[in-house]
């Protein structure tokens, strides 16, 4: 079966090469290094990719095009090019390049998560407005100022209690930050300064998720393979998102949605989402955005 698949792919790519050679499409693209058949410019992007891109830019200019497999990528490498991309044409270019695996297997994910939003559509605007009004507005920030002050004082007191001992500052700072987020979203601490609590695995989960997100995928360079998770990437991503991270706030969500739940203070971000009619399937990706 695998041999037939390989032969079929080779025949397909050969056929495409012949068609492209006989009937080339006129495309107004920036200059760039000449791509190889099938693999494009992949062979030119080794370790220290930024170094190789800088060398190419000296030859082809600050705006150049590369072919990564069957995908065309435009690279800007000067302040002028960056300004054009990020400021002048920011609306058209502000979407994220979502993996074809996620688009095929989770076609509605762009409506639930800003990280995986590929364009500025109505769903993106709704989520942005919710974040802006309920998390980052002056009123929202002021209402939680006392809580943030309390968490910082807890950190100071913990550091004072460890006088003369070795401590890892980044872990203490992380615990403080994650507890501020936890109290903003769920009205609870997620981890203590010793690394214990329901959110103790967040740092490791986020580290693994970041590493996986940066991992090149064959299916993104060769979309014809988009139905198969050949590298196990999608399976790993979904395990972290739905199991490792999702389990952190699962119990809190169920408690808030139960008939016996009674507010004991100001509404947190999760309470607000529930009031707006958001389901668990919608709330989980938003929590991952914030974490």
Which pLDDT belongs to residue 150? 95
Residues in the chain where the model's pLDDT stays below 50: none
pLDDT of 158: 94
Q: Answer yes or no: are the C-beta atoms of 289 and 180 closer than 8 Å.
A: no
State residue 124's pLDDT score. Answer: 74
Q: What is d(CA 98, CA 288) in angstroms, rounded to the nearest whole number? A: 16
Predicted pLDDT of residue 148: 94
- Whether the pTM exceeds 0.85: the reply is no
């Amino acid at each position: 079966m695998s041999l037939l698949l390989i032969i079929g792919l080779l025949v397909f790519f050969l056929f495409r090469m012949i068609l492209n050679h006989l009937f080339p499409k006129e495309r107004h693209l920036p200059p760039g290094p000449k791509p190889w058949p099938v693999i494009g410019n992949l062979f030119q992007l080794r370790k220290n990719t930024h170094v190789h891109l800088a060398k190419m830019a000296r030859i082809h200019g600050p705006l150049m095009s590369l072919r990564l497999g069957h995908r065309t990528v435009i690279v800007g490498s000067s302040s002028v090019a960056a300004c054009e991309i990020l400021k002048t044409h920011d609306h058209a270019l502000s979407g994220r390049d979502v993996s074809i695996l996620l688009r095929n297997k989770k076609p509605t994910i762009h409506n639930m998560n800003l990280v995986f939003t590929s364009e500025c559509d109505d769903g993106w605007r709704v989520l942005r407005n919710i974040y802006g009004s309920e998390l980052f507005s002056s009123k929202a920030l002021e209402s939680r100022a006392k809580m943030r002050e309390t968490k910082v004082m807890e950190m100071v007191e913990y550091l004072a209690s460890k006088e003369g001992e070795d401590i890892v500052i980044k872990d203490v700072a992380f615990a403080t930050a994650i507890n501020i987020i936890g109290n903003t979203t769920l009205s609870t601490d997620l981890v203590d300064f010793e690394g214990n609590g329901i959110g103790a695995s967040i740092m490791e989960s986020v580290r693994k998720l970041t590493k996986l997100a940066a991992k090149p995928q064959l299916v993104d360079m060769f979309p014809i393979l988009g139905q198969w998770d050949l590298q196990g990437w999608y399976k790993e991503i979904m395990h972290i998102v739905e199991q490792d991270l999702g389990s952190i706030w699962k119990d809190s969500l169920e408690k808030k949605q139960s008939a016996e739940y009674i507010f004991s203070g100001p509404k947190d971000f999760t309470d607000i989402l529930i009031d707006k009619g958001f389901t668990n399937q919608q709330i989980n990706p938003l929590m991952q955005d914030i974490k």
